[in-house]
Structure 1
Amino acid sequence: MGRHRSWAWLLVAGLSLPGCSSKQVSPQMYTGFLQDYSILTERKTPSGQTVLGWVSPGLKAGGYKQVYLEPSQVYPWPEPSERIPPSTLINMTGYYDAALRLELGKVVPLAAKPGPGTLVVRPAITRVATRTQGLRFYEWLPVTLVAAGVSTATGIRDQDSEIATEVSFEDGETGAVVAELVRMGTGVPLEDDKQVMTAYNVKAVLDGWAGDLRTAYMAYRR
């Protein structure tokens, strides 16, 4: 693999490393935020996680000297719910923006607007959900199986907090898409199906994505 291809996949993989645990996004979860999902392929990150991504064959190392971070958004905006209210979504996008700015700002100038020599990063949070945790291995023992089933039915089992992102990397001068990424992470569990999800539940995931993108950009510019 050529050097420019190596750094390019590092860049895409940088957002795939999990802050907590990670799952792969299925095609049924695609939102239409990205230009073309048919070109996405599976890749393994250095940590062994799976990411769906694509990098333009023409992307060259060192081609961008600054980064413009477009404000993150929730796409599409969901119907309000008691478990995941609008305030939670707003706080998540705000934290995502701050984490990306903090980490990328350590290694590359952040531009005020797109332009020549600028890589535009367009991040979107495309899924925020809670899911009842599956039975742990020891709960399949015959003595405990009935009790575990009751706890699931009554909603007292822990709930996984899930978050997914789709990111488009674009040329700041032409607007051409040069890379795409889709990935998911699992944050701090909720205690039951009544607890309201907040940005706190996924902060570690967002911090991990931002930190890994910084590391990837450092590898790219060398």
Structure 2
Amino acid sequence: MRSHCLMSLLCTASLSLSACTSTNVEHTGFLHDYSVLQEHTSPSGQDVLGWVSPALARGRYTQAYLAPSQFFPSTEPTVRIPLSTLAGVTDYYDAALRHELGKVMQLVSTPGPNTLIVRPAITRVAASTQGLRFYEWLPVTLLAAGVSTATGIRDQDSEIATEVSFEDGSTGEVIAEVMRKGTGVPLDNNKQVLTADDVKVVLDGWASDLGKSYVALRR
């Protein structure tokens, strides 16, 4: 019986570690074409899936229209992720993008010629149980880790993902796409409410990378 429980814990741990190391991101249907996405490294050194049209002329876009961020697919509030959190996430994402893009190009209130339309979406916000650390693989600590997971007292990761479409302000043609995910502040257990503050550092990083990527493309 004990060996059976230990084997179950090992299987669970293996699955957890596989999920943590996976670079796959779920396709939600928000972007126009997922088949063109390739792995890149962002200016901050993070893994990103992205694509830029080879026909994009450098320096073509001198201003940007930032569409309000949205949850896609639509997300219903829960006890752990209430409406205040959902609203706080999109509000902060919009503010971070305005701040960083405003440093490198003019922001406008309506699309038009020479305008880059930026359409951001939050495609995931969730809390998941953290994978096992290397020192928890000994039989005794592995059993303790399994008990902690089962009783919900194990630390959890605050997870968030985004997809962003970039379009021509005159034609609506998609000229670039990006997907990425991040992990915010750890939560103490499976009861703690996830707040917008828990993922702000991730949103700030995404916005900063976007501004720096635009500067690189403009050269």
Normalised-by-shorter TM-score class: 0.7 to 0.9
Q: How does 1:162-173 map to 2 (within 5 A)?
A: 162-173=159-170
Identical residues among aligned pairs (%) = 69
> Quick check: 1:117 aligned with 2:117?
no
Secondary structure of the residue aligned to 1:126 is strand
Deviation at 1:23, TM superposition (A): 6.5
Amino acid aligned to 2:197: Y
Contact 1:130 1:161 in 2 (8 A): yes
Structure number with bigger Rg = 2
Q: Any conservation in 2 of the 1:25–1:184 contact (CA below 8 Å)?
A: no
- Where does residue 51 of structure 1 map in the other structure? 48
Structure 2 residue identity aligned to 1:148: A
Q: 1:91 aligns with which of 88, 91, 103?
A: 88
Give the counterpart letter for 2:125 in structure 1.
V
Q: Which has the higher helix share?
A: 2
Question: How many correspondences in the alignment?
Answer: 200
SS at match of 1:113: coil
Equivalent residue for 1:155, pick from 152, 155, 175? 152
1-side partners of 2:123 and 2:170: how far apart? 26
Change (3 A) 1:204 1:48: closer
- The structure-2 alpha-carbon separation of the partners of 1:41 and 1:161, relative to structure 1 and needing over 3 Å to count, comes to same
Q: Give the equivalent residue in structure 2 for 1:79.
A: 76
> Normalising by structure 1, what TM-score?
0.85
Which stretch of the first structure deviates more once superposed, 185-194 or 74-83? 74-83
> Larger relative contact order (C-alpha < 8 A, sep ≥ 6)?
1
- Could you tell me which residue of structure 2 aligns to residue 24 of structure 1? 23
Q: 1:22 to 1:210 in 2, by over 3 A?
A: farther
* Unaligned segments of structure 2, at least 5 residues: 1-19
Cα distance in 1 between the residues matched to 2:209 and 2:21: 14
**Once the 2 structures are TM-superposed, how far is the Cα of residue 48 of structure 1 from its aligned partner?**
4.8
Map of 1:176 onto structure 2:
173
Q: 1:170 Cα deviation (Å)?
A: 0.3
Residue 38 in 1 paired to residue 35 in 2?
yes
Whether the 8 Å CA contact 2:42–2:209 is kept in 1: the answer is no
The one of 84, 104, 107 aligned to 2:104: 107
Runs of 4+ in 1 over 4 A off after TM superposition: none
Matched residue, 2:141 = 144
Q: Is contact 2:161-2:182 (8 Å) kept?
A: yes
Judged with a 3 Å threshold, the aligned counterparts in structure 2 of structure 1 residues 25 and 163 are, in CA distance, closer, same or farther, namely: farther
**Aligned partner of 1:208 among 186, 205, 208:** 205
**1:30, distance to aligned residue in structure 2 (A):** 1.3
Alpha carbons 1:22, 1:49 under 8 Å: kept: no
Match of residue 190 from structure 1: 187
Q: Distance in 2 between matches of 1:143 and 1:203?
A: 37
Question: Matches of 2:91 and 2:195 in 1, distance apart?
Answer: 12
1:22 Cα deviation from its structure 2 partner = 9.5
Describe the shift of the 1:202–1:80 C-alpha distance in structure 2 as closer, same or farther (beyond 3 A).
same
Q: CA deviation at 1:25?
A: 4.0
What TM-score do you get using the length of structure 2 for normalisation? 0.86
Moved more, 181-190 or 37-46: 37-46
Structure 1 residues 218 and 43, CA gap change in structure 2 (3 angstroms) = closer
